[in-house]
Amino acid sequence: MSLKTDIIGVHSQRSNNEAANGRNRDAEAGRLYSKIVERYALFFDRPEVRLRFLNNTLAKQAQREQQLRESLSRWRFLERTRLYNWVLEARLYSAILEELRSMAHAVPSARRPQLQSIQVPFSARAFYFLYQARHAFYAVGVLVTGLLLFGMYTAATWSARHANIWLAQRYQKGRAPIVVTTVGQGATTAFAATGAKFLPNYKPERVWLVERNADTERYSNGARILTSYETENHPRGYYLIPRGSESLGESLRSDPVGIVYHTSESDILPFTSDNNLSIKQRSQGLIEYVHRNKSYNYLIDRYGEIYRIVKDDHAAHHAGNSIWADSRYVYVGLNESFIGISFESTSTAGTLEETLTEAQYTAGRALTNVLRTKYNIEDENCTTHGLVSINPERMLIAFHHDWVRNFPFEMMGLSDKYKVQPSTMVDYGFTYDEEILEKLGRVLWPGAIAADEEFRKRAEIKRINPELFRRKLRDRYRAQMDKARRLRAPDEPAGDSPLSVQNTSEGSTVETGVK
């Protein structure tokens, strides 16, 4: 009741001071509202309908005025402005229109045309429209909020991505190059830059074979190699090419000189106990596949079981077109000279992030130590597929990306080869393009950045255009590769060799089997 009395000009609830200040103004406003309401009440002849109209309109207006007052409680001064009165009046008209509409059926038919042509201020019509369309406004509000949030999310991810790209470009374009230096090496020395001596004092303990039975070998460091899937391919054979020389290869060798680590890039399941059976089934399928295709020398499944696939003294089809060099020799076509170890793993969708299980780390380190002891393999020749893989036609590095970053060298007891300037770039002028940069998330490993710079310096020292220099080195690589291929198939033309690599018409290469 007090709310209604407020509307018709009686403000009983206010304090004396407030009342004194606003009494006249409120009385005037009350009189105005009363007159407006009364004018429209005359549309209704029936007393109960007229009474309902008056009651509802006054109650609505009272409620709205109360709401307006509460919402303006911190800005009381606004109540003394014309805007406040204007809003209240418009809201009153809006309440009247609402009631007229809801009670139109009670208006005598003779007066209905008058009802249609009521002169109502535009502001009132606007308020009425807003009120009627409030649900649509709410819906639009929700939609706009949703779009805004989505837009903010998109903008944030876009900004982050572009900031990342910008940073990557900044550091790659030589504005702030990552300079890789190694102890005791001159920056322009061809060989010095490639030495990997980050763990100079580390030597794996001596490992020996403890026992061998029909399908297992057990070693003193706990490594257990399952040999039931062991198969033959062809005996290893490769030429040693002295580093920095133009020789195509002289002395022939057949012992493994290094290790290349791979991932199977096969489908994997979440590593949880309830997936045991499925994990084993997938591993089994993978083993059979790599066995059939003689893809690697070793495969380490997700439970850390080590399977020998291709005998150590035979080449597996694991590295394809590839180059690596140690401090003395360059090796081209690493299938022949390097042992391929693959971890059953795959990269996270859209990234190059690989995940190994704890068991795979342990088994990988144990197997590395077994092989290093057995074949006297130097740390500097333990590398990854991503670091050695090349596209010879386009002279590009990183044709395959497995372990192009994040290989746990240290956990395998090895030095970090990402800091080594790859021979592919330094000695042969292989480079990268936009496509490769995109694939690598526009981040090259530090050794590659340093090698790129190193190659340019060498071209500068030789006073030769880098592209010409690159072409010359490519020819050298091709000659060395041809010679290596002829070693395997002396009677076949160079391009049709039975080695693990097949040339494609586009000039890129495709390896058989999995990576």
Partner 1 sequence: MEENNVATGSSAVADGEVNAVGLDIGTSRIVMAGGPNGHKAVTQLNAFVGVPYSKMTEAILQQNKMVFYRNGKELFVFGNDSERFASFFNAVPRRPMQYGVLNPQEPMGQQIIQSIIESILPRARKNELLSFSVPGKGDGADTNLVYHEAILKNFAQSLGYEAKAVNEGLAVVFAELQNENFTGIGISCGGGMCNVCVAFLSVPMLTFSIPLGGDYIDSSVSSVVDEPITRVRLIKEESLDLSRQPKDKVSSALHIYYEEVINTLVTKLREEFENSRQLPKLDRAMPIVLSGGTAKPKGFLQKFESIVKSGGFPVQISDIRMASDPLTATARGCYIAAMSEVR
The binding site for partner 1 (CB under 8 A) comprises 1, 4-5, 8-10, 12, 27, 30-31, 34, 37-38, 41-42, 45-52, 54-55, 58, 108
Beta carbon nearer to partner 1, 9 or 408: 9
**What's the angle, vertex CA 266, arms to CA 264 and CA 271, rounded to 5?**
100
CB of 106 to partner 1, least distance (A): 9
Write the CB contacts of 281 (distance below 8 Å, at least 6 apart in sequence). Answer: none
Beta carbon nearer to partner 1, 34 or 327: 34
The string of DSSP letters for 147-187 reads: HHHHHHHHHHHHHHHHHHHHHHHHHHTTSS------TT--T
Cα 92 to Cα 25, 47, 101, 124: the distances in Å are 17, 22, 14, 8
Beta carbon nearer to partner 1, 60 or 243: 60
Cα–Cα distance for residue pair 341/348, rounded to 1 Å:
20
Helix residue spans in 247-303 (DSSP H): 276-293
CB of 145 to partner 1, least distance (A): 36
Beta bridge partners of 509: 503
3-state secondary structure of 71: helix
Beta carbon nearer to partner 1, 38 or 496: 38
CB of 45 to partner 1, least distance (A): 5
Cα–Cα distance for residue pair 155/303, rounded to 1 Å:
42
Beta carbon nearer to partner 1, 51 or 149: 51
Beta carbon nearer to partner 1, 54 or 451: 54
CB of 108 to partner 1, least distance (A): 8
CB of 144 to partner 1, least distance (A): 36
Q: How many helices (H) and strands (E) does the chain have?
A: 15, 19
Cα–Cα distance for residue pair 280/289, rounded to 1 Å:
14
Helix residue spans in 72-173 (DSSP H): 82-102, 112-116, 122-132, 134-172
Beta carbon nearer to partner 1, 103 or 178: 103
Which element (helix H / strand E) includes 470? helix 466-488
CB of 33 to partner 1, least distance (A): 9
CB of 135 to partner 1, least distance (A): 21
CB of 110 to partner 1, least distance (A): 11
Beta carbon nearer to partner 1, 10 or 352: 10
Beta carbon nearer to partner 1, 92 or 316: 92
Cα 165 to Cα 103, 159, 171, 351: the distances in Å are 66, 10, 10, 15
Chain-centroid distance, C-alpha 322? 27
Beta carbon nearer to partner 1, 108 or 507: 108
Phi and psi, residue 214, nearest 5° = -55, -40
> What angle, 0 to 180 degrees and rounded to 10, lies between the N-to-C axes of helices 122-132 and 82-102?
60
CB of 56 to partner 1, least distance (A): 9
CB of 124 to partner 1, least distance (A): 19
